[in-house]
Amino acid sequence: MSKLVTIYGGSGFVGRYITRRMAKEGWRVRVAVRRPNEAIFVKPYGVVGQVEPVFCNIRDDASVRLVMQGADAVVNCVGILSETGKSTFDELQHEGAERIARIAGQTGIDRVVHISAIGADADSKSDYARTKALGEEGVMRFQPEAVILRPSIVFGAEDGFFNRFAGMTRFGPLLPVVGAETRFQPVYVDDVAKAAVKGVLGQAEPSTYELGGPDVHTFRELMQQMLQVIRRRRLILNIPFWAARIMAFGFDMLQKITFGVVKNGMITRDQVKNLRNDNVVGQGVKTFDDLGIKPTALEAVLPDYLWRFRPSGQYSDIKESAKNLKT
């Protein structure tokens, strides 16, 4: 009988790629999510019955334990970029991660892969970075042989970064950003999935790996590269941190006083804190090289999914080619 892996958050942006790759490896995949009916799309990743979305609330021991029964390995992909309602950084990224590792240990599962993030720091002023670090500590406390992956900003067809800013270019001549000189090392989502699969298969040494793409760019340079891909001209406007804090405070308060009816989809105070720090692979750490994975370049992937933001969408290439026709 084929082995079984439980992937918490397996229908999310990173999780779905891990799910697909684990199915290709012949494993049965249990995708643990809050809304299984919205994760039906993962079922065709394997043959009939190989990939199954199931309900799980990682804030509850019994729920986490139930979906872990019979599993040979566990992957935790649960994470959020901003808090809404009961989905808080502490509940999910700290306590949730620790709960999964603790119950895996109690269940006898010693193959655990945990997705964290570059910049995880228990002393950080950012709740996101702080809880990522506390989650790592909790995982290591109960699963010292775990594989922890710390990716930089992740890009891919379903990402919330390039898609978001490309969409913003449709509404005016300005493209506002916070922290234009902050450096990032974008990593392709499927490369992160490859690393996670190596962890599940026991092909990665238990350790913490920082995952970044082949190139480092400032926020401004990333936006310039995106604009070239979507063939639009926009003025990149750097919003000073002091102004960004005021804006974020207003958006956060609006979400709070409306009890979450109006969600802050612009920028939060915590995100402003994070944008002050570079998001790149550190010195003397384990990386893709230690996993035998060659990271994919940004320019090799962006055109594959950002073409829809071009002025003429899928017809842009045809129109440009037509301009070269001689009459």
Enumerate residue ranges in the chain where pLDDT < 50: none
Asked, for residue 303, whether it belongs to a domain, the answer is: no
Asked, for residue 89, whether it belongs to a domain, the answer is: yes
| Residue 192, domain CATH | 3.40.50.720
Q: What is the 3-state secondary structure (H, E, C) of the chain?
A: CCCEEEEECCCCHHHHHHHHHHHHCCCEEEEEECCHHHCHHHHHHCCCCCEEEEECCCCCHHHHHHHHCCCCEEEECCCCCCCECCECHHHHHHHHHHHHHHHHHHHCCCCEEEECCCCCCCCCCCHHHHHHHHHHHHHHHHCCCCEEEEECCEECCCCCCHHHHHHHHHHCCEEEEECCCCEECCEEHHHHHHHHHHHHHCCCCCCEEEECCCCCEEHHHHHHHHHHHHCCCCEEEEECHHHHHHHHHHHHHHHHHCCCCCCCCCCCHHHHHHCCCCECCCCCCECHHHHCCCCCCHHHCHHHHHHHHCCCHHHHHHHHHHHCCCC
Asked, for residue 305, whether it belongs to a domain, the answer is: no
Distances in Å between the alpha carbon of 211 and those of 36, 182, 188, 190, 196?
29, 18, 10, 12, 11
Q: First and final CA of the chain: distance in angstroms?
A: 66
The pLDDT of residue 218 is: 98
Asked, for residue 128, whether it belongs to a domain, the answer is: yes
The pLDDT of residue 320 is: 65
Asked, for residue 326, whether it belongs to a domain, the answer is: no
Asked, for residue 248, whether it belongs to a domain, the answer is: no
Strand order in the sheet with 73-76: 51-55, 28-33, 4-8, 73-76, 112-115, 147-151, 208-211
The pLDDT of residue 321 is: 66
Asked, for residue 258, whether it belongs to a domain, the answer is: no
Q: Count structural domains, the chain.
A: 1
Asked, for residue 207, whether it belongs to a domain, the answer is: yes
| Domain of 60, in residue numbers | 4-158+186-213+279-295
pTM confidence score: 0.94
